[in-house]
Amino acid sequence: MNRNILALDFGSGKITAALSAYDDETNTLRVRRTLLEPCVGINGSVILDLKGAERALSKIFADISEYVSFNPSVVVGVRGNFLSFLHTSGTKFREANLRPITQKDVDEAINNSIPTNLNENLEVLDVLPTGYMLDSQPRIDPLDLRGFYLEADTFITFALKTQLQNLNCMLEDCECTDYAAFPASVALAQTLMRPEEKKNTTLFLDIGGTNTSALLYHKGSILQGWEMPLGAEIIVQEVADILQSDLDSTRKTLSQYEYGDDEIVDDVLDEASKKLMKAIKKELLNSVDYLKFPPTSAVLSGGGTGESVREAAKNVFNLRKARLAVCEDLIPDAEGKEAVFATVIALTHHYLERETTEAVHSAKKEDSFLGGLLSRFGFN
């Protein structure tokens, strides 16, 4: 049976979307439609103009309504420096070890990892289980095993309540009241990184125009995460200063430039990319986890990456290797292979993976979701 999944990502001045069809019987995914809608009303999940953001979102729904006859599952990626992260663990002690571990036991261990003294201004956005221990022994899946002491290793994402409320208000005003939300960086890293990279000490960087998300992996777990107001605009500004050009002209030139075409421009790009990497490294050096487990490799994604950024990351962070992540391998012959759609395709994969492993299900949507939205903005 086919079902439709709509993934949304709110970036720097734009909304990207991917409508995919998933076949439960064959376990295959097909991207049906990708969209990019300019939107000055939102920047990295931060609502700058509620009505403007709603108008942009309504255009996306108007477009996909031509491709679906019933409501899709909606997955939203959240990013921005109002997010914070915590690597922790929760436990569940069982007095009778003859009874097998149940899903309820696992859920209790995961829920027990959430801090009880959480700041009243924060809300839990996501709890990602990254590993389990049963009676001090590592387990891939503890279900149906016997044991006294179950421990769940988790990576928790927190968000500022007010920012989430603004995001939720925008979606509710568009009559989308039920959706799954994940930190965009986690969805990207979990999907695009290779198993061996997660086992090693690897830094994942998702670089946008004005924001950068970073995750540090070590032995299969995410140790720490960062959201920084640093992005490719630093490169644009530096190149513009060196070439004595205005920012708009520099952006246009860089968007059309192929690294390696001109040695002088390459040198300028290299220096500008090093400046961005040094700014990012300065932020990471404030973390105990980063100081304790310095990365030996890196994986880079996002519209702000490129060969000069990859080389700068390798040099500035003293890495053995660094590579650019690509989304071509996610879905063969997909329409949305462009880097700008990597996040929404990764969100779709991540949603399906979490749905399978953790029984993440959204509540049933009202039948009026698409129809009501389109009527509200005069599209039907």
pLDDT tens digits, one per residue of 142-180: 999 999 999 999 999 999 999 999 999 999 888 888 899
Where is pLDDT greater, at 272 or 365?
A: 272
**19, two tokens:** 């409508």
* pLDDT at position 331: 59
Residue 298 has pLDDT above 60, yes or no: yes
User: How much is the mean pLDDT over the chain?
Assistant: 86
Confidence grade of residue 29 (pLDDT, cut at 50, 70, 90):
confident
What local confidence, expressed as pLDDT, does residue 364 receive? 35
Please state the rounded mean pLDDT for residues 16-28.
Answer: 89
Per-residue pLDDT band at 95 (split at 50, 70, 90): confident
- The pLDDT value given to residue 369: 44
- Report the range of poorest mean pLDDT among 49-58, 248-257, 281-290, 306-315: 248-257
pLDDT at 284: 96
Confidence class of residue 349 from pLDDT cuts 50, 70 and 90? very high
Q: Picking from 182-186, 307-311, 376-380, which range would have the lowest pLDDT averaged per residue?
A: 376-380
- What is the DSSP code (8-state) at residue 216? E
What mean pLDDT comes out for the span 60-77?
86
Lowest mean pLDDT among 191-195, 247-251, 268-272: 247-251
The predicted model gives 346-371 an average pLDDT of 63
Q: What angle do CA 172, 175, 178 make, to 5 degrees?
A: 70
Query: Is the confidence at residue 340, as pLDDT, over 90?
Result: no
Asked whether the beta carbons of 335 and 34 are under 8 A apart, the reply is yes
Inform me whether the pLDDT recorded for 379 exceeds 50: no
Asked if pLDDT for residue 197 goes beyond 80, the answer is: yes
> Sheet harboring 297-301: ordered strands across?
221-228, 212-218, 202-207, 297-301, 321-324
Residue 378's CB is within 10 A of a number of other CB atoms, namely 8
Nearest Cα to 162, choosing from 228, 80, 85? 80
